[in-house]
A and B are shown apart, each in its own frame.
Chain A
Amino acid sequence: MVLMNLELAPLATIWRIKSVNADPTDQDRATHLQEIGFIQGEHVSVLARALPGGDPLVVRIGLSTFALRRAEARCIEIEPDVSNV
């Protein structure tokens, strides 16, 4: 399957988090993302992108909404949501 990350997700489509990967420049980022709720298996979708440049993004994770920079969204690997939750 093609690797997909949250930065590239089309607007308002629901995805599932496959993994949260460490950023080489910021090792703590993955842990930080997990602590605010970006955990494997959770539902995630991109609600909006700011102009210009689509940065930052508005992301729905579980029931919370966060603004993430593109570099942060890039750490979140996603896969299509196959369940019917």
Chain B
Amino acid sequence: MSDIQATSSTSTLIALVGNPNCGKTALFNLLTGGQQKVANYAGVTVERKEGLVTVHGGKNLRVLDLPGIYSLIPRSQDERITCDVLQGRAWGEKKPDLLVCVLDATNLRRGLRLALTVKRTGLPCIVALNMSDLASQRGLNIDTDALSKELGLPVVKTVAVNTGGDQALRECLSLESWNKLSTAIPLDQYQHTQDGNQVEVDHLVVKQILHRLNLNHLVPDHFSDRLDRVLLHPFLGPFILAGVLFLIFQAVFSWAALPMDLIETGTTWLAGVLRANLPSVWWRSLLTDGLIAGLGGVVIFLPQILILFFFILIMEESGYLPRAAFLMDRMMGSVGLSGRSFIPLLSSFACAIPGIMSTRTIANERDRLITILIIPLMTCSARLPVYALLIGAFIPQRTLGGFELQGIVLFALYLAGILGAMLVALALKLLTPAGRQTRPLMMELPTYHRPTLLSISLGLWQRVKIFIHRVGGIILLLTLLLWFLASYPAAPVGATKAAIEYSYAGWLGRGLQHIFEPIGFNWQISIALVPGLAAREVAVSALATVYALSGDNTAALLTPILSNQWSLATALSLLAWYVFAPQCMSTLVAIKRETGGWKMPLITGAYLFALAYLASFVTYRVALFLGWG
């Protein structure tokens, strides 16, 4: 699976257009195989998928998979892209030489209406009747020649889920003559009407065509209907969804634990071996504490990303994802979001990075940005080591009303994050004009389909590539920068204090101390927060470094030191800080990547910092007032 090397060598551009859920992307995958390149359209976060299809004679044609549309009036960012490309207005995108209008053969009423609309663009067009196997299973015998005559366009049958199901389309693409199609077709009776409603006119035309082809009867998908009676049942549906989400959540946590442990042990081992065998030169630390730790810090996200997206892709391909959004819509609507935001938010309890990446399933741009904004408030698993250390050191082991006090505090921290997120979303709903108006749902619930291995594996591979390319590089750079800050200048000969105190990070920490003093942080905490930006849990080992501990079990050694040297008020304040603070650069980098600029990560960082400072300040002052200083 390699990137396309020289796209410029072949200039013929074919664009796939179709209704959402017509199997267009599956057909694209089948046509291009692994030869795909995923990027974003210029200036927007809409995914641009281009691939190469090899036709007879070994000629390569470029294929573009355009976002699904219902009409040529765009209502979302991705629909706008499709409309712009079809009209030759898309920036940095040539007007396609040929369109393949992909129709769901089991739902021609809607598909043919789009075919008429697409035909009016005047571009050469081939109609692909996709899912033609399902259509014949349901007793719909479509006469392609007759349909071709009715439409004045070539019509081929395709089955995107079967190997070789694109045979007829490939043959049609191999013909030299299709580039004469546009001139061959008279712009006939289906022309644009000036008066009257275009949709209704087209609808009448489609009904006449279907009537003449004897296809004018409705044959619903009984399997999907039966499944929906259970999965969308007002009582059963939410329970089944809760069960499915519970399993996914469990899998993300438990299946990822082993590979993540292995990656961590592996990098520690490798760093240790290199440290023991290399001469004590300056670049030894760069290699072991900077580069290897940084690479490990990037790779460590992969198990969770793979597992989460495996399930999300299955839900998406099978058709369950929009149904889950339907079931959660009312609840999320109360804070001004839609059901689509639920799964990204839920997955962020494991890690915010895959959560942010999965916001691509949210069609509405505003909903998507707000979801990204509140995702860092979900308690990710990297906060747990910090919580565990502080709770272990400061919260006594006793029961309160039959429950472990330590457990109650941990639960309260999770709850604080969720409530914080809901309050932020609610505030944005009430305070912004866009938040007060209700946005349309109008979400299609497609018929259920069995996900194909090709689509799932291609999807996973693309996620991994996006993460490594776009996010991994910056994370690595920033980790190296933090390594530099924490290592230079080196401690002078005969230094009595921990080396980090002499470094830039130490200076920074001492400077930050003045900012953090009102919320009860001492200089040790302030210093530990700087390398803790690489990843939240690094703060624990940084604290150990500041307190000059070394060895294997530093966390256990830290506990008595902290409980002796810190006040309870300081510890509670730090816990409150970790609930809200933007203590994770990788999250901000992922936001930058997914929103296409530094604006959103800066806003996120700033508001989270303010929120964390406020929460810690209140916590600290209340704790002092209660005599816990």
- Say if the beta carbon of B48 comes within 8 Å of chain A: no
In the assembled complex, B295 has its CB within 8 A of some CB on chain A: no
The 8 Å CB contact of A69, one of B110, B217, B238, B441, is: B441
* B199 CB contacts on chain A under 8 angstroms: 31, 34-35, 39
Contact B440 A69 (CB under 8 A): yes
Distance from A56 Cβ to chain B, minimum over Cβ atoms (Å):
5
* Neighbouring B residues of A56 by C-beta, 8 Å: 326, 329-330, 441
Query: What range describes how many residues of A lie at the interface?
Result: 35 or more
Closest Cβ–Cβ distance, residue B559 to chain A (whole Å)? 46
A69 x B444 contact (CB < 8 A): no
Q: How far is the CB of B14 from chain A (nearest CB, A)?
A: 25
**Nearest-Cβ distance from residue B102 to partner chain A, whole angstroms:** 16
- A63 and B219 within 8 A (CB): yes
- Select the residue from A32, A48, A58 with max chain B CB neighbours within 10 A: A48
Residues 429-445 (chain B) with a chain A CB within 8 angstroms = 437-438, 440-445
For B444, the closest partner residue in chain A by CB is A66
Digitize A9-52: 1 where CB-to-B-CB distance is under 8 Å, 0 elsewhere: 00000000000000001101101111111011001000111111
Which residues between 415 and 438 of chain B lie within 8 Å of chain A, taking CB atoms? 437-438
B218 and A34 within 8 A (CB): no
Kindly identify which residue among B200, B218, B238, B322 contacts A63, using a CB–CB cutoff of 8 Å.
B218
Pair A33/B442 contact, Cβ less than 8 Å: yes
Q: Interface code B229-263, partner A: CB below 8 Å = 1, 0 otherwise? A: 10011110110000000000000000000000000
A66 to B14, CA, bound (A): 30
Partner of A60, one of B110, B220, B325, B442: B220
A36, B19: Cα distance in complex, Å: 9
Q: B495 on the interface (CB 8 Å rule)?
A: no
**Which one, A29, A51, A64, A85, contacts B107 given CB within 8 A?**
A64
Partner of B438, one of A65, A66, A69: A69
The CA of A29 and the CA of B228, in the complex, are separated in Å by 26
Measured CB to CB, the nearest residue on chain A to B329 is: A56
Assess whether A79 is interfacial by the CB under 8 Å rule.
no
In chain B, what residue has the closest Cβ to A37?
Answer: B110
Closest B residue by C-beta to A31: B73
Whole-angstrom CA separation of A33 from B203 in the bound complex = 13
Complexed CA–CA distance, A27 and B447 (Å): 30
Q: Are A67 and B441 in contact (CB under 8 A)?
A: yes
Is the Cβ of B326 less than 8 Å from the Cβ of A58? yes
Q: Can you list the 6 inter-chain pairs with the closest CB atoms, starting with the nearest?
A: A35-B71, A51-B234, A65-B445, A67-B326, A63-B107, A34-B199
Q: List 18 A-B contacts (CB under 8 A).
A: A26-B438, A32-B442, A33-B442, A34-B197, A37-B109, A47-B232, A48-B228, A50-B326, A50-B329, A56-B441, A58-B228, A58-B326, A58-B445, A63-B221, A67-B441, A67-B442, A67-B443, A68-B442
Q: A37-B109, A69-B329 are in contact. List 19 more A-B contacts (CB 8 A).
A: A25-B438, A32-B440, A36-B444, A39-B200, A48-B233, A49-B234, A51-B234, A51-B330, A56-B326, A56-B330, A58-B228, A65-B228, A65-B444, A65-B445, A66-B442, A66-B445, A67-B441, A71-B438, A72-B440
